[in-house]
Chain A
Amino acid sequence: MKYDAVVIGGGHNGLAAAAYLARAGRKVLVLERRHVVGGAAVTEEVFPRFRFSVCSYVVSLLRPDIIRELDLPRHGLEILPLDGTFSPMLNGDYLWRVNDHAKTRREIARHSKLDAEAYDEYGRAMVEMARFVKPILAMTPPDPMTRNPRELLKLGALARRFKALPSRDRYNQLQLMTMSAVDFLDQWFETDVLKATMAASGIIGTFLGVRSPGTAYVLLHHYMGEIDGAFRSWGFARGGTGAISNAIAGAARAAGAEIRTGTAIARIRTRGGSADGVVLDNGDEIDASLVLSSVDPRRTFLGLLDPKELPSDFVADVRRFKLRGSSGKVNLALDALPDFRSLPGPGPHLRGAISISPSIDYMERAYDQAKYGEFSRRPYIDMVIPTLTDPSVAPPGKHVLSCFVQYAPYALAGGTWDQQRDAFGDAVIDTLAEHAPNIRDIILHRQVVTPLDLEREWGLSEGNIFHGELTLEQLFFLRPVPGWARYTTPVRNLWMCGSAAHPGGGIMGAPGRNAARRILGHAH
């Protein structure tokens, strides 16, 4: 029997695409290689009774229209606020920003009165910028080389929107799109740890340093939440990040989509330059009028297709697409809570994100090491303790600590990641111990996820958590490949719907939604 659409990969984007197609009455099948759906947005019981958001660990950008349209709360999605960011410093002090604006202002004033004032102005400016960018996330990028006047008009409209901005916003927008996070923040603030922690969001998942031009843009993402009317910045899903994927999967199933896990695909079947199904590892063939790939372009075009079936310049562009994973995860099962030298004892500062980003130079040095093929000996770490907001994921009294670690370059100068895995884990523990000396005594279990693991187990080529660097030359109408940013591919009836497509990675779900809407003719 034949499906209207088969979706390769059951990550949040694949599932979202499937849900939208199924709701439109299409007969949809989602194929997931692993035993569980979710891709990198997954909760797994890594150690008995300890459930981890193994890869992606917080949610911030999940598009509100997806939550609404797919009615995700009805399918079990509950987002718990993640209150603030705690940044311990090496001098024994700390910076602790919370969602309560007045509190945060007082805290920043403790470091610098000027910064406390600039903080308001900064927040307002960023919200304005986010307003400008938000609609772009939901649009299909127009192709600047198109002959289609409709597309050109869309480009013109973008230019007009920019021109229509007040000159001050125009100025900020231009800077945000091109500057380094540090240069941008230097114009507003003087407190090193404040700038370092804010700048950190600009390099997450990207092989760039906080001083590298192009890193300022991501600062915006922290303000998207506000205009989405969702939580200001970050939140957890109750039950872990996997709960998001499960909710989307639930919506897809409810709409009639079929989801098969443990089903790996050998290749995409094509006939006469057009995709007409997939061939599974076990040799089974599945017929479908449309094939959607939510896996990254390298896997899709160089792995699941025979490059010979593709235009050579397209293949060259795919090979050139930068993946360059730069981060890893260390997941810890804890017997008790970490005790920070700078703010001892348990307390609300542990309920939010804890950011090991004590200074700009610290962040930049971490990058400098990675540039030449070593993991950072003193890495940037962004960690959360979900058990404080959602005790359901660990046995009573126990905790899970989820550490996002950068930099961990996929390509090592010496040795393999299998040889380096433990050394990497140790470097993370050593770094934590500088701030929370009790950490070594409270670790029950430790899981180290290297870029190589992300590639092998979760199918992220080169361990890139965004399916491809979020750098300007790989965004919008250049993502993933110039001329193919509209979810279509040179193979007829083969569509891209994953993070490698506009607008990119993060648990946004936008690529999956945009692709499905494009297929259904809702969007152009």
Chain B
Amino acid sequence: MAHDVVIVGGGHNGLIAAATLARGGLRTLVLERSERVGGCAATDEIAPGFRVPALAHRTAIDSHVIQSLELERHGLRIVRPAAYACAPTTDGRALIIWADTERACREIATFSSIDAERYPAFLESIRRITVVVRSLLDASPPDLDALAPADAIRALRTGRQFRALGRTDAYRLLRWLPMAVSDLVGEWFESEPLRATVAADGVLGSFLGPRSAGSAAVMLLLAAGEGRPIAPGWMPRGGGGALAEALCAAAKQAGAEIRTSAAVCEIRVDDDGRATGVVLESGEEIGASRVVSAVDPRRTFLALIDPIHLPPEFRRRAQNIRMRGTLAKVNFALTAAPEFQGLAARALADRVAALSGCVRLAGSVDSIERAFDAVKYGTFSDVPWIELAIPSVTDDTLAPAGQHVASAYVQYVPHTLKDADWDHQREQLGDRVVDVIGRYAPGFERLIVAREVLTPADLEQRVGLTGGHVFHGELALDQLAVARPLLGWAQYRTPIKNLHLCGAGTHPGTGLDGRSGLLAAQAILTAP
């Protein structure tokens, strides 16, 4: 039977789009290349009994999505950390950013009383500013060439919200968007551990150092979901895979059909430039009145579509979408939780709570910047920046009793090495990560039962992220909003009729939040 919609790619955005479209009454089929759906939301058993968040170790699925798809009814259990981030030092201290602001301030005060005074004001300013950012993320960007009345109304609303910020915060928003996050944290705080811990959100997954202009915008975009900075998001009980299962269940219950191990190799386009279906690697052809691609724009336009169907200028622009991944993933199965020097003096309960969020290993903003320097020349730093998550601390389903799994975001790592190949360097990278973690948690290497290293090239292989870029395209000012994925094509449409995009490469594209999938589906349902 013919489908109303086939969705290419069963990542979180693809599933959310599928569920939304199916609820809208469209016969929807999701085609996933690998043997399981979820994309970056996955849980892998890397050793018997050790289940680790294989890729993302933090998600921030939009509350609208959670409600509209009733994900909690479909088994999603959100585990919110007691501490957003813990930044141990090598000299036996630790800065713990507790979720409870007062408690966080007491911690910060041990590093700087001035910073402790400023921290609440900082949170409040980010909260107010991200209200405006959020209202931009929650709607499809306008088409500059065909402004609809709805766009005007939305613009007015956002304009009012902007002016309602008052001069101080309004100007902050304008100044911060193009600014370097190192300058932003420098304006607020004086203690390096706090500066580095906050600045890290501005470079996550990006080809940006803290000193790169535009990194403050990344921090604001990621903060917009929950209206707070510093590792915003949470982990589902059961790891990313549990989120995938909940989304899958929601999509199926809505009536969507989901096929795994079904790799699409071509999107079929007829002579009048209309998408008519897809072709699988098996040769099987599947017809559909609409094709929706959840894979990144470069893969969609350059790998899945015969060039003849796209204007050369459009292809050139698609080729120029910047997606140079810098994030590598290292997963560990551990016999015990790492013992961070910086936490040694604390009570057990506090030690556990401190590790419930992420652990950020950077002594200073400059140490992150130095880690970035290497990647510009096609190598990786001796001292990469690391964000470690130990989800088994709060989730006993992931590891055998008393034992643990850990997941490390490692930056900066090039997709392609300058004068070497990953097959010879992959484990060296892993050793460096172990070495750096060991500086903060002596004896870490002795805890390791199993280790898995995923370079950006591996991420591309495994999840289909072109360039290994976790956001399906750099979150740069020229690749956001009306220009995401490309200026003039930000409404989830493409030059090919009946072909739509719904992946993170479209607006807003801010990580594992599902907004792109939801907005794309809504745009398709309301399209004439």
Point out which of A175, A183, A213, A214 has the most chain B C-beta atoms below 10 A from its C-beta.
A213
- B169-185: contact bitstring with A at CB < 8 Å (1 yes, 0 no)? 01100111111000100
CB distance A145 to B366 under 8 Å? no
Chain B min CB distance to A361 (Å): 6
Stretch of B62-70, B208-216, B243-251, B294-302 contacting A (4+ beta carbons < 8 Å): B208-216
Please indicate the chain B residues that have their CB under 8 angstroms from the CB of A208 in the complex. 213
CB distance B171 to A175 under 8 Å? no
Contacts known (A183-B322, A214-B213); A483 close to B377, Cβ less than 8 A: no
Interface check B476, CB cutoff 8 A: yes
Contacts known (A144-B174, A145-B171, A473-B179); A167 close to B488, Cβ less than 8 A: yes
Interface check B315, CB cutoff 8 A: no
- A363-376: contact bitstring with B at CB < 8 Å (1 yes, 0 no)? 01000100110000
| CB proximity to B under 8 Å, residues A352-383 | 361, 364, 368, 371-372
CA–CA, A320 and B179, complex, Å: 13
Chain B min CB distance to A173 (Å): 10
Please indicate the chain A residues that have their CB under 8 angstroms from the CB of B212 in the complex. 211-213
Q: Pick the residue among B170, B175, B320, B373 that contacts A368 (CB under 8 A).
A: B373
Interface check B103, CB cutoff 8 A: no
Chain B min CB distance to A145 (Å): 5
CA–CA, A430 and B233, complex, Å: 52
Interface check B77, CB cutoff 8 A: no
CB distance B171 to A472 under 8 Å? no
| CB proximity to B under 8 Å, residues A135-149 | 144-145
CB distance B213 to A170 under 8 Å? no
Contacts known (A178-B214, A482-B171); A171 close to B476, Cβ less than 8 A: no
CB distance B213 to A174 under 8 Å? no
Interface check B336, CB cutoff 8 A: no
Interface check A187, CB cutoff 8 A: yes
- The residue on B at minimum CB distance from A373 is B366
Please indicate the chain B residues that have their CB under 8 angstroms from the CB of A313 in the complex. 168
CB distance A471 to B167 under 8 Å? no
CB distance B178 to A214 under 8 Å? yes
Contacts known (A183-B322, A213-B477); A473 close to B176, Cβ less than 8 A: yes
CB distance A212 to B213 under 8 Å? yes
Chain A min CB distance to B212 (Å): 6
Please indicate the chain A residues that have their CB under 8 angstroms from the CB of B317 in the complex. 171
Q: Pick the residue among A174, A473, A482 that contacts B483 (CB under 8 A).
A: A174
CA–CA, A322 and B483, complex, Å: 29
Q: Pick the residue among B167, B373, B487 that contacts A167 (CB under 8 A).
A: B487
CA–CA, A368 and B163, complex, Å: 39
CB distance B322 to A178 under 8 Å? no
Chain B min CB distance to A471 (Å): 6
Please indicate the chain B residues that have their CB under 8 angstroms from the CB of A320 in the complex. 187
Interface check A179, CB cutoff 8 A: yes
Please indicate the chain A residues that have their CB under 8 angstroms from the CB of B213 in the complex. 208, 212-214, 471-472
Interface check B369, CB cutoff 8 A: yes
Interface residues on A, range: 35 or more
Interface check A478, CB cutoff 8 A: yes
Interface check B91, CB cutoff 8 A: no
Chain B min CB distance to A318 (Å): 13
CB distance B167 to A187 under 8 Å? no
Please indicate the chain A residues that have their CB under 8 angstroms from the CB of B478 in the complex. 174-175, 177-179
- B131-150: contact bitstring with A at CB < 8 Å (1 yes, 0 no)? 00000000000001100000
Interface check A163, CB cutoff 8 A: yes
CA–CA, A337 and B168, complex, Å: 56
CB distance A483 to B322 under 8 Å? no
- B3-22: contact bitstring with A at CB < 8 Å (1 yes, 0 no)? 00000000000000000000
Q: Pick the residue among A170, A178, A322 that contacts B477 (CB under 8 A).
A: A178
Please indicate the chain B residues that have their CB under 8 angstroms from the CB of A174 in the complex. 477-478, 483, 487
Please indicate the chain B residues that have their CB under 8 angstroms from the CB of A171 in the complex. 317, 483, 487-488
- B474-516: contact bitstring with A at CB < 8 Å (1 yes, 0 no)? 0011100001000110000000000000000000000000000
Point out which of B174, B478, B488 has the most chain A C-beta atoms below 10 A from its C-beta.
B478
CB distance A372 to B170 under 8 Å? no
- The residue on A at minimum CB distance from B488 is A167
Please indicate the chain B residues that have their CB under 8 angstroms from the CB of A214 in the complex. 178, 213-214
Chain B min CB distance to A202 (Å): 12
Please indicate the chain B residues that have their CB under 8 angstroms from the CB of A163 in the complex. 144
CA–CA, A146 and B476, complex, Å: 28
B-side interface residues, number (CB < 8 Å): 37
Q: Pick the residue among B170, B208, B322, B369 that contacts A371 (CB under 8 A).
A: B369
Interface check B376, CB cutoff 8 A: yes
Please indicate the chain B residues that have their CB under 8 angstroms from the CB of A483 in the complex. 167, 171
Main secondary structure of the interface of A (DSSP, over half): helix
CA–CA, A171 and B214, complex, Å: 18
Contacts known (A170-B487, A187-B320, A213-B477); A478 close to B377, Cβ less than 8 A: no
Please indicate the chain A residues that have their CB under 8 angstroms from the CB of B167 in the complex. 145, 482-483
CB distance B366 to A372 under 8 Å? yes
Please indicate the chain B residues that have their CB under 8 angstroms from the CB of A322 in the complex. 183
CA–CA, A214 and B483, complex, Å: 17
Please indicate the chain A residues that have their CB under 8 angstroms from the CB of B322 in the complex. 183
CA–CA, A178 and B178, complex, Å: 8
Please indicate the chain B residues that have their CB under 8 angstroms from the CB of A145 in the complex. 163, 167, 170-171
Q: Pick the residue among B144, B175, B376 that contacts A478 (CB under 8 A).
A: B175
Q: Pick the residue among B178, B211, B320, B370 that contacts A472 (CB under 8 A).
A: B178
Contacts known (A371-B369, A472-B178, A478-B171); A211 close to B487, Cβ less than 8 A: no
Please indicate the chain B residues that have their CB under 8 angstroms from the CB of A482 in the complex. 167, 171, 174-175
Chain B min CB distance to A177 (Å): 8
CA–CA, A258 and B500, complex, Å: 68
CA–CA, A168 and B176, complex, Å: 27
CA–CA, A175 and B373, complex, Å: 23
CB distance B171 to A471 under 8 Å? no
- A174-188: contact bitstring with B at CB < 8 Å (1 yes, 0 no)? 110111000100110
Chain A min CB distance to B140 (Å): 18
Please indicate the chain B residues that have their CB under 8 angstroms from the CB of A368 in the complex. 373, 376
- B348-383: contact bitstring with A at CB < 8 Å (1 yes, 0 no)? 000000000000000000100110010011000000
| CB proximity to A under 8 Å, residues B199-253 | 208, 211-214
CA–CA, A483 and B170, complex, Å: 11
| CB proximity to B under 8 Å, residues A120-165 | 144-145, 163
- The residue on B at minimum CB distance from A477 is B174
CA–CA, A211 and B483, complex, Å: 21
Chain A min CB distance to B196 (Å): 15
| CB proximity to B under 8 Å, residues A469-499 | 471-473, 477-478, 482-483
CA–CA, A213 and B479, complex, Å: 12
Please indicate the chain A residues that have their CB under 8 angstroms from the CB of B373 in the complex. 368
Chain A min CB distance to B63 (Å): 30
- The residue on A at minimum CB distance from B313 is A168
Please indicate the chain A residues that have their CB under 8 angstroms from the CB of B487 in the complex. 167, 170-171, 174
Please indicate the chain A residues that have their CB under 8 angstroms from the CB of B214 in the complex. 178, 213-214
- A184-223: contact bitstring with B at CB < 8 Å (1 yes, 0 no)? 0011000000000000000000001001111000000000
CB distance A471 to B369 under 8 Å? no
CB distance B170 to A179 under 8 Å? no
CB distance A473 to B178 under 8 Å? yes
Point out which of B163, B213, B214 has the most chain A C-beta atoms below 10 A from its C-beta.
B213
Taking beta carbons and an 8 Å cutoff, which residues of A are in contact with B?
144-145, 163, 167-168, 170-171, 174-175, 177-179, 183, 186-187, 208, 211-214, 313, 320, 322, 361, 364, 368, 371-372, 471-473, 477-478, 482-483
13 residue pairs of the A-B complex, CB under 8 angstroms, read: A145-B163, A171-B317, A174-B477, A187-B320, A208-B213, A313-B168, A364-B377, A368-B376, A371-B369, A472-B178, A473-B174, A473-B177, A478-B174
Q: Which 10 A-B pairs rank lowest in CB-CB distance, beginning with the nearest?
A: A472-B178, A482-B171, A178-B477, A214-B213, A473-B175, A213-B213, A213-B214, A178-B478, A473-B179, A171-B487
For the A-B complex with A171-B483, A364-B377, A471-B213 known, give 9 more contacts whose Cβ atoms are closer than 8 Å. A167-B488, A168-B313, A174-B487, A211-B376, A471-B178, A471-B179, A472-B178, A472-B179, A478-B174
